[in-house]
């Protein structure tokens, strides 16, 4: 954390041309002001960001900060983000679930898209239009390991890149690992290569998938579909016209209400794409159909159904990044400030994830707050406490001589609810809240994590 946010930040700021002559801001000052400013308040104004800069002993006006949002600044934050995303942090112990412990690792992969202003189409190409023109969008690709929580990425690609061309495509997995991804990542060649390397795959089956018997004879799916709700069917089949990879076909007949929800989702998706619903997909909505090359003695049908549902953990991760980190929201029409804000927020969210892995991964209370409990508000307070503590800790001097935030005028002082926390209170209040910063907080403070924090942080930060 200190290496990237202090040492590398200054080097990358000069290499990208963001800091040519250091006057007030160094690369580390600018980076930490933006990262911790938006991490504390995802909708922070220029005034609030300038107040955050005072912890680094930088007195800067709103106008001067606004002028920093340039193309070189965006390249600088992108370079820092790339270095952050290359670091893989994991918890010290596996999650104590026997089903997960059967595999060397259990890896989820998914992506999420963020629409950008059209002026950025040359930087990040969206769908439609020629390169450099039309829509602009960026895709965030993430691999998340469930046993120890490590996140690979996010790796950024143009919005028009298909899922099967994921930047993780050529990255191998440890022998004995299990890979779970959405249908967009379904690639029979990649599945066969993964199995040849000693790892497994669990995926839903596409409606248009063709099947063959292990001996190579065509197989009609209709004859295998169970007709009673709750009935299952399992057998070995070959899939993929070219590879004919041997996998287990797992089928479950679902209740009518579940099938109705699936058909409603199919209609909504077809309407969004302006395409008709495929007849075969509509018909197969009554069944859950999975494919896996994990042997039955290692994973039975019921356990496969449990694990494939865990793919929604990725949906929750992106939801929290967007709902609380607001990576897809900004208060500006300046396209370069939009990019700067996106990169800075992603850096902050990676820091949050590192902290939950180091200090609260084993805590049972690690979950998203319920609606109406005030969780998001407490999370914002907790993130703010962490930001102030981290900025003080990363500052070259032990502590700033003045801890007061810059308040331009009396009206702003009355309007602002963002108040500094003296260093004496940070250890008691801010660092106790560290494990609340990630994934939207928890219902009550995790005592074991707090003890670990108090033992660890004074030596490292």
pLDDT tops 50 at residue 320: yes
Q: pLDDT per residue over 26-54, tens digit each?
A: 888 899 999 999 998 888 888 888 888 88
Question: Is residue 148 within 8 Å of residue 91, measured between CB atoms?
Answer: yes
Residue % of the chain over a pLDDT of 90: 31
Which tokens is 336 given?
């370069």
pLDDT, residue 111, reads 92
pLDDT, residue 456, reads 32
Average pLDDT in the 253-277 region?
87
The gap between the terminal CA atoms of the chain, to the nearest Å, is: 9
pLDDT, residue 290, reads 93
Q: Determine the Cα–Cα distance for residues 422 and 404; give it in Å rounded to an integer.
A: 9
Q: pLDDT per residue over 69-117, tens digit each?
A: 999 999 999 999 999 998 888 887 888 888 998 999 999 999 999 999 9
Q: pLDDT-derived band of residue 461, with 50, 70 and 90 as boundaries?
A: very low
Q: Is the peptide bond before 426 cis (omega within 30 degrees of 0)?
A: no
Better pLDDT: 134 or 103: 103
pLDDT tops 80 at residue 402: no
Nearest residue to 417 (alpha-carbon basis) of 445, 384, 387: 384
pLDDT, residue 455, reads 37
pLDDT, residue 411, reads 38
Residue % of the chain over a pLDDT of 70: 77
Q: pLDDT per residue over 182-236, tens digit each?
A: 888 888 989 999 999 999 999 999 888 889 999 989 988 888 888 888 889 999 9
pLDDT, residue 248, reads 94
287-292/245-253 β-pairing: antiparallel
Question: Is residue 293 within 8 Å of residue 200, measured between CB atoms?
Answer: yes
Q: How remote is the C-alpha of 159 from its chain's centroid?
A: 16
pLDDT tops 60 at residue 453: no
pLDDT, residue 249, reads 93
Specify the range with the lowest mean pLDDT, choosing from 51-65, 196-210, 266-280, 434-448: 434-448
Q: Determine the Cα–Cα distance for residues 436 and 324; give it in Å rounded to an integer.
A: 13
Better pLDDT: 54 or 341: 341
């Amino acid at each position: 954390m200190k290496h990237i946010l202090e040492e590398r930040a200054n080097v990358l700021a000069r290499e990208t041309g963001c800091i040519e002559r250091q006057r007030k801001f160094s690369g580390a000052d600018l980076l930490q002001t933006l990262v911790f400013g938006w991490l504390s308040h995802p909708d922070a104004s220029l005034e609030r960001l300038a107040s955050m800069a005072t912890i680094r002993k930088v007195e800067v006006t709103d106008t001067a900060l606004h002028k920093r949002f340039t193309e070189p600044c965006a390249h600088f934050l992108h370079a820092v983000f790339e270095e952050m995303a290359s670091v893989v942090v994991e918890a010290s112990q596996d999650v104590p679930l026997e089903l997960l412990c059967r595999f060397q690792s259990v890896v989820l992969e998914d992506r999420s898209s963020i629409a950008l202003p059209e002026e950025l189409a040359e930087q990040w190409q969206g769908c439609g239009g020629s390169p450099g023109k039309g829509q602009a969008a960026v895709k965030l690709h993430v691999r998340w390991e469930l046993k120890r929580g490590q996140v690979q990425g996010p790796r950024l690609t143009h919005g028009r890149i298909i899922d099967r061309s994921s930047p993780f495509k050529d990255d191998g997995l440890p022998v004995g690992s299990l890979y779970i991804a959405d249908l967009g990542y379904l690639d029979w060649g990649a599945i066969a290569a993964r199995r040849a390397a000693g790892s497994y795959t669990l995926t839903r089956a596409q409606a248009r998938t063709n099947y063959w018997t292990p001996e190579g004879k065509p197989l009609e799916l209709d004859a295998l579909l169970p007709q009673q709700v709750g009935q299952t069917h399992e057998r070995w089949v070959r899939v993929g016209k070219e590879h004919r990879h041997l996998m287990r076909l797992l089928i479950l007949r679902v209740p009518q209400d579940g099938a109705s929800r699936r058909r409603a989702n199919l209609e909504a998706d077809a309407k969004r794409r302006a395409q008709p619903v495929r007849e075969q997909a509509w018909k197969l909505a009554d069944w859950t159909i999975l494919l896996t090359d994990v042997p039955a003695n290692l994973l039975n049908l019921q356990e496969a159904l449990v694990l494939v549902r865990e793919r929604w953990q990725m949906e929750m991760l992106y939801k929290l990044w967007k709902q609380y980190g607001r990576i897809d929201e900004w208060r500006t029409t300046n396209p370069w400030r939009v990019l700067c804000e996106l990169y800075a927020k992603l850096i902050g969210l990676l820091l949050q994830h590192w902290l939950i892995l180091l200090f609260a991964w084993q805590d049972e209370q690690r979950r998203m707050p319920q609606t109406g409990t005030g969780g998001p508000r407490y999370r914002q307070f907790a993130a703010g406490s962490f930001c102030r503590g981290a900025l003080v800790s990363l500052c070259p001097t032990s502590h700033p001589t003045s801890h007061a935030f810059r308040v331009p005028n009396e009206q702003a002082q009355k309007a602002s609810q963002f108040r500094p926390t003296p260093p004496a209170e940070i250890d008691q209040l801010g660092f106790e809240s560290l494990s609340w910063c990630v994934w939207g907080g928890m219902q009550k403070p995790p005592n074991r994590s707090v003890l670990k924090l108090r033992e660890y942080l004074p030596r490292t930060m």
